[in-house]
Amino acid sequence: MVYAALKKLTKHSVIYALGPAVHKALGFALLPFITAWIGSTANYGVLEIGSVTIAVAGQVLGINLLYGMTRFYADYETDEEKGTLVTTTLLLLVASMGTALLCAWTFRGPASQLVFESREYAPALVAVFAILFFQTIGQVGLRWLQILERSITYGVLTTTKLLVEIGLKVWLLIEGLTYMGAFYSVLGCEAVVSVGLVIVIVSKVGLTFSVPMAKRLWRYSAPLIVSGLCMFVLHQADRFFVQDLHGQDEVGLYGLAYKLGSIANAIFLEAFGLIWFPYVFSIQSEDDVRDLCRKVLTYFNLLMCGASLALAVFSREIVSVMADAQFHDAWRAMPIVIAGYVFWALFQVVHTVFYVREKTGRISLLVAGAAVLNLGLNAVLVRPFGYLGAAWATVVTFVALAVASWIAAEKLLPVKYEIGRVLAPIGVSVALFTASLWVPAWPLPSVIAAKAGLVLLLPGILAASGYLQADEKDKIREFWARVRIRR
């Protein structure tokens, strides 16, 4: 059962990853253009603060209702009930996000002073809340596609959207709109997609509202508001520390380092999460859930370590090629952010059992503790070390959260994860990255060859140390046998 489930998860994850992969690839290609045309590192900082605002406002306004919709969809037997659950979620979010957009427009002056520390950015504030409105409404439709396992439709839709968004962004930046051009490009595409998905939903399932379903959604999702706000602290609150103590320029540098450092998260973890939760919620046997979670953690951690090692080793080269010269110092924070997201990936898998057992309140407690730790670390580290201090605060916090969640989840539903096989790739990756720092200042081709060799040592060292189990070796032999037959 486990390997069949892993095959299905891999298939859909690959399809879901196409959008983020294309997005990141195009983002790489466009970074030199964007960092040159955005005007300054401070303008890039405005984009970062805008993203932070979307994240925190979404949590407060109920975006976690989408988790409830995903969790309960399989509980209803008829298509009519399932459709009502979707449209109930939709109407709840239209009400909350629409109210927020209206308030942002009405109080745009003082609100922009609060968020951006200047009334000059009032148009940016309104654009941010308009993006939040359409993005959230669109997410209802996208989540519906995930539940139905329409991964190809999802991939085509999201990839098309981002291609159009990037084209608009380029045009508007050339027109001189700087950060507002970036906001408008996102807003236009989110509006078109969300309206289109709402039309499809209504045409397929109608537009009905259920008070009992709404109450069930809120009961399940309400504790997640706390965890969501705390996750905002974990991922984005450090920008405000950097902005307050070192200014928008350092926010821009840190934002770029964070964007590049979380590539593995965006491509692999986010894509995996789109199919993981709908799939695991459909499994009825707790023994099957245990077996699947155990293997998923081992294999996904290995994937994240390999991708993260490659990014960390080449962080200096990536930043120097992909960004304007004024952003080059950002590479120093990139490996630190990368390390943090390896442990964030561990947390995402081990805390699955809280959702399965409907113990979402425990997630809130764990994430709240991590948020307090993160705030304290930022308060101590950002003043003397700037954005590097923020990056280190992220690593320490994510390690603590992953360990605490692992312990708490095992008490709730013992999975018996393969601790040694999880820690081995992490330890080897740290050692290989450390070795890469000692590569001499050779000509660039030689440096690239040496660093690539270090990255390729990871699977070799693990294989030589007995990392693979007998059944895994058999599966690999079967795979290569099929490949040879096809040739």
**Helix, coil or strand: residue 63:** coil
Q: Residue 21's pLDDT band (boundaries 50, 70, 90)? A: low
- Gap between the Cα atoms of 74 and 82, Å rounded: 8
State the number of CA atoms in the 13 A half-sphere of 133 facing the CB. 23
Name the token pair of 17: 């990853």
CB 353 within 8 A of CB 279: no
- Gap between the Cα atoms of 337 and 263, Å rounded: 10
Q: Is the confidence at residue 253, as pLDDT, over 70?
A: yes
Name the token pair of 368: 């709240």
pLDDT of residue 485: 66
Q: Is the confidence at residue 2, as pLDDT, over 60?
A: no
For the question of whether the overall pTM of this predicted structure is more than 0.85, the answer is: no
Q: Residue 39's pLDDT band (boundaries 50, 70, 90)? A: low
- Gap between the Cα atoms of 148 and 84, Å rounded: 15
Q: Residue type for 329, please?
A: D
Q: Which tops the pLDDT comparison, 225 or 123?
A: 123
Among 160-174, 214-228, 289-303, 455-469, name the one with the lowest average pLDDT.
214-228
pLDDT of residue 20: 55
pLDDT of residue 5: 53
Mean pLDDT of 302-309: 94
Of 185-194, 271-280, 292-301, the range with the highest mean pLDDT is 185-194
Give residues with Cβ within 8 angstroms of 142, minimum separation 6.
154, 157, 158, 197
**Helix, coil or strand: residue 293:** helix
- Gap between the Cα atoms of 233 and 227, Å rounded: 10
Task: List pLDDT tens digits, range 127-139.
Answer: 999 999 999 999 9
Name the token pair of 337: 């952010």
Rg (CA), the chain: 23
Find the distance separating the first CA and the last CA of the chain, reported in whole Å. 29
Among 10-14, 158-162, 329-333, name the one with the lowest average pLDDT.
10-14
CB 267 within 8 A of CB 28: no
Q: Residue 487's pLDDT band (boundaries 50, 70, 90)? A: low
Mean pLDDT of 4-16: 54
Mean pLDDT of 359-388: 90
DSSP 183-225: HHHHHHHHHHHHHHHHHHHHHHH-----HHHHHHHHHHHHHHH
Give residues with Cβ within 8 angstroms of 73, minimum separation 6.
82, 85, 86, 147, 278
**Helix, coil or strand: residue 487:** coil
- Gap between the Cα atoms of 89 and 18, Å rounded: 27
Task: List pLDDT tens digits, range 196-230.
Answer: 999 999 999 999 999 999 999 988 887 777 777 77
Whose tokens are 């690239």? That residue is 448
CB 415 within 8 A of CB 356: no
Report the mean per-residue pLDDT for the chain. 85
Among 19-33, 108-122, 280-294, 465-479, name the one with the lowest average pLDDT.
19-33
- Gap between the Cα atoms of 312 and 316, Å rounded: 8
Closest CA to 43 of 180, 179, 181: 179
pLDDT of residue 89: 94
Mean pLDDT of 263-284: 73
Q: Is the confidence at residue 231, as pLDDT, over 90?
A: no
Among 195-199, 258-262, 304-308, name the one with the lowest average pLDDT.
258-262
pLDDT of residue 194: 94
Closest CA to 357 of 433, 414, 422: 414
Whose tokens are 């998923």? That residue is 296
Q: Residue 473's pLDDT band (boundaries 50, 70, 90)? A: confident
Q: Where are the domains of the chain?
A: 38-235
Among 31-45, 108-122, 355-369, name the one with the lowest average pLDDT.
31-45
What percent helix, strand, coil does the chain show, rounded to 5? 90, 0, 10
Give residues with Cβ within 8 angstroms of 253, minimum separation 6.
41, 327, 329, 330, 333, 387
CB 181 within 8 A of CB 172: yes
pLDDT of residue 154: 82
pLDDT of residue 129: 95
Among 182-186, 208-212, 232-236, 269-273, name the one with the lowest average pLDDT.
269-273
Q: Taking the CB of residue 109, how many other CB atoms lie within 10 A of it?
A: 11
Q: Is the confidence at residue 235, as pLDDT, over 70?
A: yes
Q: Is the confidence at residue 96, as pLDDT, over 70?
A: yes
pLDDT of residue 461: 93
pLDDT of residue 19: 56
Q: Taking the CB of residue 421, how many other CB atoms lie within 10 A of it?
A: 18
- Gap between the Cα atoms of 340 and 108, Å rounded: 35
The percentage of the chain sitting over the pLDDT mark of 70, rounded to a whole number, equals 89
Mean pLDDT of 32-41: 70
